[in-house]
C-alpha cells in the first residue's frame, strides 16, 4: 500500500489526496463537492467530537438541534450576514417528485412549489436567533449557552476532502448574554478551548489571533481564530469564535429585561470547528508512509501483530498483553488475520497511523520480550514482556508530546519577520510559512498584497507586542506586526 503514496516532495497536494484515500478517511461521491467520510475517518471525528463536547459541557454548554432548513427571507435580515453568505447555497424549491409521464424516472412535481424557498443551512445564526426571541425575556434567562452538532452546506466551487467540501460536519455554538463583557469573555473562553483542543489533542500548535475587518465573519463585530501551519508552509484556519455584538439580536428583535428593568438587546457569540480539522491533522503530522495520528485521537492506539502468523501460542500472549493495555485505558487491536504477511501488515498499520505496533514472534517470547515500534519516529526497541503495559502507556504520552514538539519547532521556524517588500515576496516563495510584517491597517493594502502574492492576513496575534514600524507594502505607520500567509 505505502508504495503507492505520492511523496510529499514531489506533489504535496497529491500526497494529501493519497493519504485521505489510502488511509480510509474519505471517498469522493457522485454528489458534486460532497464526500463520503469512511469508517476510519469518522472514528477520528468521533474522538474529536467527544473531546470537544466534554470541554463544552464542562464550561456549562448544552446541546440542542435546530432545523436544517432556513426560510430564504431570514438570510436578508442581518445585512452584513447576507452580504457575506447568502450567495452559494443549496436552495430547496419543491417538496414533491412524481413519475415522469414520458419515461421511467421521476421528475420534480411543478405543482409542489414552495411559497418561500428554503435554504439548506450554511450556518444557523438566523434560525437560532429567530428561536431565541421566544426563549429570552429577562436577564434570568441568560446566559443561554447552546451548541449544536450538525451538517451544513456551502456550495463551494473548488473542493478538497475535509478542507473544503460542499457539505461538512461541524459544531456551532450560539450563546446569548446580558452584557458585552460577558459575551466577549465567552468568545475568548471558547477560543482558548479551541487552542487547548488543537494543541493537547491534535498535537497541532496554533496561533490565537483576531481577524482583520476584511476577513471577519459576516455579521460579526470581531472574529477570533486559531491558525495552524501545514507542512507545505500554508496556513490553515482551524477554528473561529465570533463576537457578534447585538447584530443578530437587532435583526431578530431579541430583547431582554435587564436588572434595572429596562429592555435591552441581547449580546451574542457564535463559534465553530468542523471536519476540516481532520485535514489539518493529516497535514500536520503525516509522512510519505501514511497517516500519523496523535495517540489521543487514534481510534486504535496499539496494534499487536503475531509473527509470522496468529498461531495459538502467540495469540494467547497477544491477548494477555491486550488485556493489560485495555486495563490501562488503551485501545488495542490484536491482528488475527492469517492471510497477510507481517511486512504487508506493518505497511498497512503505518498507513493507518496506528501510533504503536507490537511485533510478537516466538524468538521474542523465548527471550521474554516484545518488539515495540513507534509510528512517529519509526524507532523499534525490544521491551521486557513484564513491564510492557507501563512502557506502552509512557510511550503513547511520549509520542503525543513528540508530535507536538516537532510541529511546534516547525511552526516557530516558519514565522519570519520581514520588513522589506522584496523580502516578503522572496520568503513567501522560497520558505513559506507565516510572515510577521507591519501593515498599515487598511483593507486596501491587505487586498493589494493578496492580489500580488495570494497571501492574506491570517490574524493579528493576541500576544503580539506593540511595536512601531512601517507597513511592508506602503511604508505607512503601523503599531504591530500581523501574520501573513498563503492559506487553505
Q: Give 79 or 413: the residue with its C-beta nearer to a second copy.
A: 79
Q: Which residue, 285, 266, 258, is CA-closest to 174? A: 266
Task: Tell me which of 7, 11, 14, 39 binds a second copy, using CB under 8 A.
Answer: 39
Task: Kindly state whether residue 133 participates in binding a second copy, applying the rule CB under 8 A.
Answer: no
Is 94 near a second copy (CB under 8 A)?
Answer: yes
- Give the nearest distance from C-beta 194 to a second copy in angstroms: 22
Contact 209, 188 (CB under 8 A): no
C-alpha to C-alpha distances, 285 to 152, 174, 191, 194, 471, nearest whole angstrom: 27, 32, 23, 19, 34
262 interacts with a second copy by CB under 8 A: no
At its nearest, how many Å lie between a second copy and the CB of residue 37? 4
In 3D, which of 450, 448, 456, 451 has the Cα closest to residue 485?
A: 456
In the complex, minimum distance from the CB of residue 162 to a second copy, in angstroms, rounded to a whole number = 12
d(CA 160, CA 483): 25
Among 70, 210, 268, 318, binds a second copy (CB under 8 A): 70
Binding mask 227-256 for a second copy (x = CB under 8 A): ------------------------------
Q: How many residues bind a second copy (CB under 8 A)?
A: 64
Q: Which C-beta is closer to a second copy: that of 51 or that of 68?
A: 68
Q: Which residue of 13, 59, 93, 401 would you call a contact of a second copy, by CB under 8 A?
A: 93
CA 327 to chain centre: 31
Q: For 149, phi and psi rounded to 5 degrees?
A: -95, 125
What are the cell numbers at 402?
513528540
Contacting residue, 13, 14, 59, 76, with a second copy by CB under 8 A? 76
Measured CA to CA, the distance from residue 409 to residue 272 in angstroms comes to 27
If the CB atoms of residues 68 and 317 are measured against a second copy, the closer one turns out to be 68
Residues in CB range of 361: below 8 A, 6 or more apart: 306, 307, 308, 314, 371
Measured CA to CA, the distance from residue 47 to residue 22 in angstroms comes to 20
Does position 92 bind a second copy by CB under 8 A? yes
User: Could you give the CA distance from residue 247 to residue 268 in angstroms, rounded to a whole number?
Assistant: 8
Phi/psi of residue 462, each to 5°? -70, -30
The residue (of 34 and 365) whose beta carbon lies closer to a second copy is 34
- Choices 7-15, 73-81, 281-289, 303-311; region in contact with a second copy by CB under 8 A: 73-81
The answer to whether 64 contacts a second copy (rule: CB under 8 A) is yes
CB of 168 to a second copy, least distance (A): 10
Among the listed residues 464, 462, 461, 463, the one whose alpha carbon sits nearest the alpha carbon of residue 485: 461
Interface of this chain with a second copy, residues 165 to 194, rule: CB under 8 A: 167, 169
Nearest approach, Cβ of residue 264 and a second copy (Å): 20
Shortest spacing between CB 116 and a second copy, in angstroms: 10
Whose cell is 505496533? That residue is 357
Give the integer Cα–Cα distance in Å for 156 and 168. 11
Select from 167, 149, 146 the least CA-distant residue to 269.
146
Does residue 352 belong to the site contacting a second copy (CB under 8 A)? no
CB of 197 to a second copy, least distance (A): 20
| Binding positions for a second copy, rule: CB under 8 A | 27, 29-31, 34-39, 42-43, 45-46, 62-76, 82, 86-98, 104-106, 108, 117-120, 127, 130-131, 134, 140, 146, 150-151, 153, 155, 167, 169, 339
Amino acid at each position: 500500500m505505502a508504495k503507492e503514496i505520492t511523496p510529499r516532495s514531489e506533489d504535496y497536494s497529491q500526497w494529501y489526496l493519497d493519504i485521505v484515500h489510502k488511509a480510509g478517511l474519505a471517498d469522493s461521491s457522485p454528489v458534486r463537492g460532497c464526500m463520503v467520510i469512511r469508517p476510519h475517518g469518522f472514528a477520528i471525528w468521533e474522538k474529536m467530537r467527544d473531546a470537544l463536547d466534554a470541554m463544552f459541557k464542562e464550561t456549562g454548554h448544552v446541546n440542542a438541534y435546530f432545523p436544517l432548513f432556513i426560510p430564504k427571507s431570514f438570510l436578508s435580515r442581518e445585512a452584513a450576514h447576507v452580504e457575506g453568505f447568502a450567495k452559494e447555497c443549496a436552495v430547496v424549491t419543491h417538496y414533491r417528485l412524481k413519475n415522469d409521464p414520458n419515461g421511467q424516472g421521476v421528475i420534480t412535481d411543478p405543482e409542489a412549489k414552495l411559497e418561500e424557498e428554503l435554504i439548506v443551512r450554511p450556518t444557523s445564526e438566523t434560525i437560532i436567533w429567530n428561536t431565541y426571541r421566544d426563549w429570552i425575556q429577562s436577564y434570568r434567562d441568560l446566559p443561554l449557552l447552546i451548541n449544536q452538532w450538525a451538517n451544513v452546506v456551502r456550495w463551494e466551487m473548488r473542493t478538497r476532502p475535509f478542507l473544503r467540501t460542499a457539505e461538512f460536519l461541524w459544531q456551532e455554538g450560539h450563546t446569548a448574554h446580558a452584557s458585552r463583557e460577558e459575551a466577549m469573555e465567552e468568545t475568548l473562553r471558547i477560543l482558548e478551548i479551541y487552542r487547548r483542543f488543537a494543541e493537547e489533542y491534535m498535537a497541532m500548535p496554533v496561533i490565537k489571533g483576531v481577524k482583520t475587518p476584511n476577513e471577519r465573519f459576516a455579521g460579526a463585530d470581531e472574529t477570533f481564530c486559531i491558525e495552524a501551519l501545514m507542512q507545505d508552509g500554508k496556513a490553515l484556519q482551524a477554528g473561529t469564535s465570533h463576537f457578534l455584538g447585538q447584530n443578530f439580536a437587532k435583526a431578530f428583535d431579541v430583547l431582554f429585561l435587564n436588572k434595572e428593568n429596562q429592555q435591552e438587546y441581547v449580546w451574542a457569540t457564535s463559534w465553530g470547528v468542523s471536519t476540516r480539522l481532520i485535514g489539518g491533522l493529516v497535514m500536520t503530522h503525516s509522512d510519505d508512509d501514511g497517516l500519523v495520528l496523535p495517540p489521543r485521537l487514534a481510534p486504535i492506539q496499539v496494534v499487536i501483530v503475531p509473527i509470522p502468523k496468529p498461531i495459538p501460542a502467540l495469540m494467547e500472549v497477544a491477548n494477555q498483553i491486550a488485556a493489560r493495555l485495555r486495563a490501562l485505558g488503551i485501545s488495542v487491536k490484536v491482528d488475527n488475520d492469517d492471510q497477510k504477511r507481517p511486512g504487508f501488515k506493518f505497511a498497512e498499520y503505518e498507513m493507518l497511523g496506528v501510533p504503536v505496533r507490537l511485533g510478537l514472534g516466538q524468538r521474542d517470547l523465548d527471550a521474554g520480550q516484545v518488539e515495540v515500534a513507534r509510528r512517529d519516529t519509526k524507532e523499534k526497541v525490544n521491551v521486557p514482556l513484564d513491564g510492557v503495559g507501563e512502557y506502552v502507556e509512557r510511550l503513547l504520552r511520549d509520542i503525543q508530546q513528540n508530535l507536538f514538539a516537532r510541529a511546534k519547532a516547525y511552526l516557530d521556524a516558519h514565522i519570519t519577520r520581514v520588513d522589506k517588500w522584496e523580502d516578503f515576496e522572496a520568503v513567501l516563495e522560497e520558505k513559506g510559512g507565516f510572515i510577521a510584517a507591519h501593515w498599515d491597517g487598511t483593507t486596501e493594502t491587505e487586498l493589494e498584497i493578496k492580489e500580488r502574492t495570494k497571501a492574506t492576513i491570517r490574524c493579528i496575534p493576541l500576544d503580539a507586542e506593540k511595536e512601531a514600524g512601517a507597513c511592508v507594502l506602503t511604508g505607512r505607520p503601523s503599531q504591530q506586526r500581523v501574520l501573513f500567509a498563503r492559506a487553505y
